[in-house]
Amino acid sequence: MTDSTYISANVSYSSIEKPPFRVVSVGSGNWGTCVAKIIAENTRENPLLFERQVKMWVYEEDYNGEKLTEYINTNHLNEKYLPGIQLPDNLVAIPDLLEAVKDANIIVFNVPHQFLEGILKQLKGNINPKARAISCLKGLRVYQDKVELLTDIISQELGIHCGCLAGANLASEVAEQKFSETTIAYPIPDDYCSGDVDPTVLYTMFHRPYFHVHIIEDIAGVSIAGALKNIIAIGVGFVDGLQWGENAKASIMRRGLLEMIKFGQKFFPTSKVSTFCEESAGVADLFTTCTGGRNFKLAQRMAQTGKSAAEVEVDLLNGQSAQGLITAKEIHHLIKNKAYLDEFPLFETTYQILFHGVSIGILPYMLENKWSISKPNYSS
């Protein structure tokens, strides 16, 4: 089917009734552009449900002497952040944030963590109050004595219902339409009314033959897995760097999975074991994260060279930070303040190795017998 088929379908239906959903992607980095591409592929195939045009807010910058939004809209390519990937022509880059979100009733967030707060401030009071949101940001906001879900922060700031999307989704592979799966967590909101965003709408918006969507309700489970996997990848990188082999790597992943589940049960008792064990955002994302990526490589290099985390960050990451390093520190303070240190031996030992020069060789001894202290409750 060519794109023109959809145009005519759209025109013929839109003369009767406008499609109910208008989607904007807030964010246009590597993963942001990739997800916006998926959505645009689906909106043009489903003209009864979605407005064909998908808007993508792009932080305006210069690209080879041209404005990035103009380059994207002229060439249907985002060479800066997703090079070589042809974008659908119904995906339109917009430099003005408020103009981009103006008519949207589905807002997809896909910006770096550190920009979220500023963006929410700009959006506050300037969006459709009945809009629904999906966050593609990974993780949690961790304080000294509590944890918040990023989706809750979005909800509270904007007063709109927000779900999340995560999975074993290396952006470059998804962009090339290699097969993968993802998880969307979207509980039906209390103020749901007929014709509202529901699992069918989200499935139609995100599912592709190469990108399989599974929809659940457990936002907390998806968010926890997305944050804690980075600490586990560091543990796996350590034992890989010491050439302890595949058995040891598998044991660290397994122990990490158990500590993820435990963390969920401690801090978000409604989180489900099945999210961690069954979902792409759980066990599958853990697999991919532990086979490569920035956190794994930082730890691997520390083990190989005996250098500190700070030294390796300079060498390997040009001084950029690995997310798992930050998360390991935040989680350490949290579980220490809550007196849970003994129950997360992998997370705690990883922190001690990263920040206090503890030997990696101590890992097996730290893990020994600790888990038996309190096992997860499998009935939840």
**Paired sense of beta strands 161-166 and 132-135, if any:** parallel
DSSP state of 52: S
Say what the alpha-carbon torsion angle 214, 206, 58, 8 is, to the nearest 10 degrees.
-170
Q: Which of 90, 11, 83, 20 is nearest to 55 (CA)?
A: 90
Total Cβ atoms within 10 A of residue 336: 15
First to last CA, the chain: 46
To a second copy, the closest distance from the beta carbon of 252 in angstroms equals 9
Nearer to a second copy, 211 or 347 (CB): 211
Give the C-alpha separation, 68 to 77, whole Å: 10
| Binder among 169, 223, 327, 350 for a second copy (CB under 8 A) | 169
To a second copy, the closest distance from the beta carbon of 35 in angstroms equals 14
Is 379 a binding residue for a second copy by CB under 8 A? The answer is: yes
| Binder among 118, 245, 269, 306 for a second copy (CB under 8 A) | 245
Tokens of 292: 């490569």
CA-based diameter of the chain, in Å? Answer: 70
Give the C-alpha separation, 104 to 274, whole Å: 33
| Binder among 124, 337, 365, 374 for a second copy (CB under 8 A) | 365
To a second copy, the closest distance from the beta carbon of 296 in angstroms equals 12
Nearer to a second copy, 280 or 295 (CB): 280
To a second copy, the closest distance from the beta carbon of 268 in angstroms equals 17
To a second copy, the closest distance from the beta carbon of 315 in angstroms equals 24
Is 210 a binding residue for a second copy by CB under 8 A? The answer is: yes
| Binder among 149, 168, 225, 234 for a second copy (CB under 8 A) | 168
Q: Which helix (H) or strand (E) holds 372?
A: none
Sole residue written with tokens 């202290």: 373
Where helices occur in 242-281 by DSSP H, the ranges are 246-267, 273-278
Nearer to a second copy, 212 or 329 (CB): 212
Binding residues for a second copy, how many (CB under 8 A)?
51
Site residues for a second copy, 145-164, by CB under 8 A, read: none
Contact at 8 Å (CB) between 34 and 69?
A: no
Is 251 a binding residue for a second copy by CB under 8 A? The answer is: yes
Total Cβ atoms within 10 A of residue 247: 9
| Binder among 46, 223, 271, 288 for a second copy (CB under 8 A) | 288
| Binder among 82, 93, 273, 322 for a second copy (CB under 8 A) | 273
Please give the annotated binding residues for NAD(+), written as ranges.
27-32, 115, 171, 294, 323
- Annotated active-site residue in 37, 55, 80, 229: 229
Q: Looking at 62-70, 93-101, 269-277, 341-349, which segment touches a second copy (CB under 8 A)?
A: 269-277
Give the C-alpha separation, 177 to 230, whole Å: 25
Site residues for a second copy, 344-363, by CB under 8 A, read: 363
| Binder among 248, 260, 316, 334 for a second copy (CB under 8 A) | 248
Give the C-alpha separation, 3 to 10, whole Å: 11
The question of whether 229 is a catalytic residue gets the answer yes
Where helices occur in the chain by DSSP H, the ranges are 3-14, 30-45, 68-75, 97-101, 113-123, 150-158, 171-175, 199-206, 219-241, 246-267, 273-278, 285-289, 293-305, 309-317, 323-337, 345-356, 363-367
| Binder among 274, 304, 355, 358 for a second copy (CB under 8 A) | 274
Is 283 a binding residue for a second copy by CB under 8 A? The answer is: yes
Nearer to a second copy, 205 or 283 (CB): 283
Q: Which residues bind a second copy (CB under 8 A)?
A: 167-170, 173-174, 178-181, 209-210, 212, 214, 239, 244-251, 253-254, 257-258, 272-274, 276-280, 283-285, 287-288, 291-292, 363-365, 367-368, 371, 376, 378-379
Catalytic annotation, residues: 229
